[in-house]
Amino acid sequence: MSEKTSVSKVFDIPKFYYFDSGNDYSGSLGDFSYKIITADELTCKTWHGKLCSMKADIENEKTFERSEEGFAALITWLEEMYGEK
């Protein structure tokens, strides 16, 4: 049995180490798109449609502490935003 590598029940998102190493990440599920931006903090943006984040109308944006706890809160928030679609 292979180990689950995603931290989300809904999305295929890598573990915190990926972001703590300074990487950004984007993905989509159906019409729902998201981007996680890594800086001193973690910022997550969500929108609907296939446009990239620079061209899309961002519907939700929230910043979280760059820590394991902040990352867990980001994942919970992202899943909630998807549930509101």
Q: Average pLDDT of each block of 10 consecutive residues along the chain (85 residues)?
A: 67 95 96 97 96 93 98 97 85
Please tell me the number of Cα atoms within 13 Å of 22 on its side-chain side: 0
Q: What is the DSSP letter of 51?
A: S
Residue 2's pLDDT is 41
pTM of the model: 0.90
Residue 84's pLDDT is 82
